[in-house]
Structure 1
Amino acid sequence: MPRRLGVLSTVAGLVVGLLAQPVVAHASHAATADPGDRPAVVEVRMIGTSVRGRPIRAWRLGEPGKRPIVLVSTMHGNEPHTRRILESLRDGPAISGVDLWVIPTYNPDGLARGSRRNARGVDLNRNFPYRWADLDGSYESGPRPASEPETRAVMAFLKEIDPRRVISFHQPLHGVDTDTKDAGFARRLARALRLPRTSLDCGGLCHGTMTMWFNHRFAGSALTVEYGARPARRRMSVQAPRQLLDVLRARREAG
């Protein structure tokens, strides 16, 4: 009998210990493991997977509570340098004054192959369900709107968090698109990042882009930032993250 009581006492202790562990609440997207040694990170989600099963992760930085801002890079796998901006924010010191989500690698299969398109040969920035068109070649748009798992993952994530702004980083056209829903913010961003203001018209009429879809569907605004083909590492890793935070923390961005 004493032995049985001892076993029961041990089991009870384990149950109490488990119940005492903190519960992490998260939405429909699966949370990943502990963010580890990253003081800026307050939450990590795996928002989906690529065609080849590679994870697509979103990292939440800063101070939750305000309407969030989302930064996206490597939508095209042959445009890898702007990832350094987002990774430097993620891996750097704690961030205050902004609620920020970063998706450093939107197209992990394309990045692994050094390809603009995903593993099925689709340009993800022509695959969104707004003004979609059946395009071939480098701008292959897929068999139908939102046909690709990467597109659907980002769409679901943006629908869930309803961000105030989305900034999509690309290369190599070197400029900030001011032909967008909030041209004033685009001009301030161009000035902060020391990039020229421009109108990115896809060489004619754009079809099925992420920013077009977001601007059509949401109250918030989305725009594209293009760096050059070979931006300096220091600019991507040190200067651009600071410049970006300065403009995102500006008083007129509060709310």
Structure 2
Amino acid sequence: MRINQLREDNPLIICLTNDVVKNFTANGLLALGASPAMATEVEELEDFIQHAGAVLINIGSLTKEIMPSMEKAVEAANKHHVPVVLDPVACSATAFRKEFCLKLIDHYDISVIRGNASEVKGLIEDASMKGTDSDLSLDPVTIAKKAGTQFGMAVIVTGKEDGIYVDGETRRLLNGTEMLTKVTGGGCLLGAIVSAFIYNKVKPTLSDLVEAVAYYNVSAERAEALAKGTLPGHFQINLLDMLNSTGESDIAENMRVEEVD
């Protein structure tokens, strides 16, 4: 597994993410064993990124002012062979968001797209959503496979179950907890976790992504047990603790993964 090497290497993860989740994302990466930097200034991004393990682009607080920084970050990442994770937050809610995401996908090399079912569906066909809420009737596996095939890149689609597509192979992951929807930034933090797990890998493997999502969801299940399943405040704190303590054996013993044709 990759987690032990990640913790030893402590990769720098540059996060251009939304304003609501910056603190939670940084703490989550620190708990995992990565080193977060929330750099957004165009003038310094390349200096940071040439030393980075990965870059996260999360459009949750997308504005015209932040767009140049996001494009510069992806451009610098491509130049220095640094993997990029794109989290297309609420891209099915507005044309403004969708058009920017498709611009990044069309003009740059994105290593992984990570979003919920409504968000990723919105990238490949007409779809609508209310804010950041996903349509729970959609099948994440089907959407991951369709988007990955269309864009020719790795795709993670999250929901009650999660779907992962990489190079013609698809997996369904069955771990997780509804408590992740009760705190702000549960999905956004996963994007950062995925970024950390693929550090220095512009072309991540299926096993890297399965491990990243399984690690996160197993940690969440352990946090839910400590929070007695009903207290979101306790759950959020316990999640940070479990992200720090969940190890290789916890993942291997508890992950539930199915191969999909």
**Based on CA coordinates, which of the two structures has the bigger radius of gyration?**
1
Report if TM-score (shorter chain) is over 0.5.
Answer: no
Q: What TM-score does the superposition give when structure 2 sets the normalisation length?
A: 0.30
Structure holding more helix per residue? 2
